[in-house]
Amino acid sequence: MTLTDTTPAPPAARTRSARKRLVPYWLLLPGVLWLLVFFALPMVYQASTSVQTGTLEQGFRVTWHVATYWEALAEYWPQFVRSLVYAGTATFLCLLLGYPLAYLIAFRAGRWRNLLLVLVVAPFFTSFLIRTLAWKTILADGGALVGALDALHVLDVTNWLGWTQGDRVLATPMAVVCGLTYNFLPFMILPLYTSLERIDGRLHEAAKDLYASPATTFRKVTFPLSMPGVVSGTLLTFIPASGDYVNAELLGSTDTKMVGNVIQSQFLRVLDYPTAAALSFILMAVVLLMVTVYIRRAGTEDLV
């Protein structure tokens, strides 16, 4: 634009301002190029792989075989539904368990606040696979926890609901959901804490002065104001949980396989790339759709 500008300016200044205008593009170039080549381009390759046919020996070729999508869905819809149900349940449990802790740290912790925050992040310092394996010990058959649940007749209820089988917790849906909830809890607590911590304490006093009971104050003041944290917390929990296959593999059984397990085994063991790519594409579409609808409904567009 500057070069075609009609206002006379010394040539040195002109090239200088043109160069200045290019600064943001130079700053963006390497990183954006990296994301385009290793994030966006692979999506194109994945889409192309999903409509290929062929065998591993003869190679795969694009034949626009869209039926792969229907075949994949027809065969693996149980794992799909299971992923969404498990991830949804885990997200709900994270909110239920995480909210009191975030609230405690934000309003009641006093000088213990920093210590509690460190303790929330502390589990990350040990590799999450090692910690997930520890649940195998905690939920072990005949272990203390399972024995206690059995004695309290909790297992009778969960058996009736189909979450556990007999006197086992390991290798049941309950173990997988418990692992998912455990693994993603910090991702719920931190955004909740951030939005709770921003709430002006005087609002609570005002509600109290207007004769609101603690429950009403929470329902009408605290919870609505913490909505941004609830929204980003649920997203940060649900998205990774829906694609997770670690918990289902380590804590579950063949009856608790999620869509991530299918994609992983199709890609790395069966080597049926088209089916795996189609499944991964569907998962991406479903998650993006749910996220978009959710963000619209919750009315917080500016998450980043």
Interface with another protein in residues 22-81 (CB under 8 A): 23-25, 27-28, 30-32, 34-36, 38-43, 45-46, 48-49
User: Which x/- pattern, by CB under 8 A, does the window 167-206 give for another protein?
Assistant: ---------------x--xx--------------------
Determine, following the binding rule CB under 8 A, whether residue 208 of this chain makes contact with another protein: no
Instruction: Check residue 298 for interaction with another protein (CB under 8 A).
Output: no
Q: Is 128 in the site for another protein (CB under 8 A)?
A: yes
303 part of the interface to another protein, by CB under 8 A = yes
- Tokens in use for 182? 């455990």
Task: Show contacts with another protein in window 91-110 (CB under 8 A).
Answer: 97-98, 100-105, 108
Minimum gap (Å) between residue 299 Cβ and another protein: 17
Q: Which of 63, 151, 257 is nearest to 143 (CA)?
A: 151
Smallest gap, in angstroms, from Cβ of residue 45 to another protein?
4
Residue closer to another protein, measured from CB, 47 or 203: 47
Of 13, 73, 133, 210, the one binding another protein by CB under 8 A: 133
Which of the stretches 72-80, 156-164, 196-204, 278-286 binds another protein when contact is defined by CB under 8 A?
A: 278-286
Q: Which residue from 178, 129, 120, 186 is spatially nearest to 149, judged by alpha carbons?
A: 178
Residues with Cβ within 8 Å of 221's Cβ and at least 6 positions away in sequence, in order, are: 199, 203, 204, 207, 212
Among 187, 239, 247, 275, contact with another protein (rule: CB under 8 A): 239
Tell me which of 2, 65, 120, 194 binds another protein, using CB under 8 A.
120
From the CB of 206, what's the least distance to another protein, in Å?
A: 20
Q: Which of 90, 81, 93, 127 is nearest to 257 (CA)?
A: 81
Residue 164 or 264 having the CB closest to another protein: 264
CA angle, 85 as apex, 82 and 86 as ends, to 5°?
80
CA–CA separation, 147 vs 74, rounded Å?
40
In Å, what is the CA distance from 217 to each residue of 7, 194, 208, 227?
Answer: 63, 19, 7, 15
243 near another protein (CB under 8 A): yes
Q: Are 221 and 202 in contact (CB under 8 A)?
A: no
CA dist 77 and 271 (Å) reads 20
> Which CB atom, from 43 or from 210, has the smaller least distance to another protein?
43
Q: Please report where in the chains the tokens 């975030």 appear, as a residue.
A: 102
